[in-house]
Amino acid sequence: MLNSTEKEAPLAPRPVRPGLAAVLSLFCTGAGQCYAGRPLRGLVVVALTFAMVLGLGFLLITVAPERPVFDLSLWCLPFLLHAWNVWDAYRCAVQPGARRSPVVMCILFVAAIWILPSLGHTRKFFDALAPVHSYSIPSGSMIPTLNIGDYMVTNRLGFSPKRGDIVVFSPPEAYHGNKEDLVKRIVAVGGDVVEVRQGALWLNGTRQNESFIKEPMTGDFAPFKVPADQFFMMGDNRNDSFDSRYWGAVPRANLKGRAVRIIWSREPGRMGKGL
């Protein structure tokens, strides 16, 4: 029994493990700071990371395609920021008086930053906010412009589709294959009459000089007038492309973005190439 004059000893602060703080921030930005008793600082780190990614996304869609944007020092910034995030979590943990946050708070922080954005409707919400979207190329229908395994980014902000644009779109109703997004080149717009003969594309009665296609076309396509507010799509690998010649024109509402740049390729010389 304690005497009435005796006081209970204060509880010792819960120890903070610097190594664990660094590992947490390595796998979830800001989580180490939260663990080390600095949840608001963790949120600031998350906001800085988001702002940098958003800024680089705007850079990709605003710089003219013919200008290079893959300066090594610029594209190292996200990695340097993440390294600073890990170091900052360690520094927060070794500061005198650091107190470990409750486990529940850490779990809620990770859930809010890492898990919630990946769930159904939440993910769609964040996707809608993104000015750019990345896609991998699974087939050879756009060779030689886009090779299998290339990664490209698209501008999802308000764009005005025109002939020659490479766009990502959802398949029209007449398409009976896999309903995943497709990437093709717009060769004709609403009101145009498109035709294939003599191995070439004819548009409104004029033969088109298309230096970007892989090879001359081997089959013919009868004259077709593109409906208003729709687009006729073809792959650059014309003899191995399942496109509007088979399933018709694509409505404007189906378009999701214009391809602007290759961000990764198995051929290093293609990285950063504008489209």
Q: Token pair 């602060």 is at which residue?
A: 13
Query: Domain holding 263: CATH number?
Result: 2.10.109.10
Bridge partners for 202 per DSSP: 195, 207
- The helix (H) or strand (E) run that includes residue 10 is none
pLDDT for position 211: 92
| pLDDT band per the 50, 70, 90 thresholds, residue 23 | very high
Q: How, if at all, do strands 193-197 and 200-203 pair?
A: antiparallel
pLDDT for position 3: 53
End-to-end CA distance of the chain: 81
Residue 233 contacts residue 244 (beta carbons within 8 Å): yes
Q: Give mean pLDDT, residues 28-42.
A: 90
CA 30 → CA 18, 169, 219, distances in Å? Answer: 14, 36, 57
Active site residues: 141, 184
pLDDT for position 65: 54
Rounded to whole angstroms, the Cα distance separating 145 from 147 reads 7
Residue 150 and residue 257 share a domain:
yes
In a domain, 163, yes or no: yes
In a domain, 71, yes or no: yes
Residue 230 contacts residue 190 (beta carbons within 8 Å): yes
| pLDDT tens digits, one per residue of 163-189 | 999 999 999 998 887 888 999 999 999
| pLDDT tens digits, one per residue of 107-138 | 888 888 777 666 655 556 556 556 678 889 99
Structural domain count, the chain: 2
Rounded to whole angstroms, the Cα distance separating 205 from 193 reads 8
Rounded to whole angstroms, the Cα distance separating 12 from 91 reads 21
Q: Which residues contact 215 (CB under 8 A, 6 or more apart)?
A: 238, 239
| pLDDT tens digits, one per residue of 39-66 | 999 999 988 888 887 777 777 666 655 5
Domain that holds residue 186: 132-270
Residue 70 contacts residue 125 (beta carbons within 8 Å): no
Residue 262 and residue 136 share a domain:
yes
Q: Give mean pLDDT, residues 202-228.
A: 94
198, 202, 208, 211 alpha-carbon torsion, rounded to 10°: -60
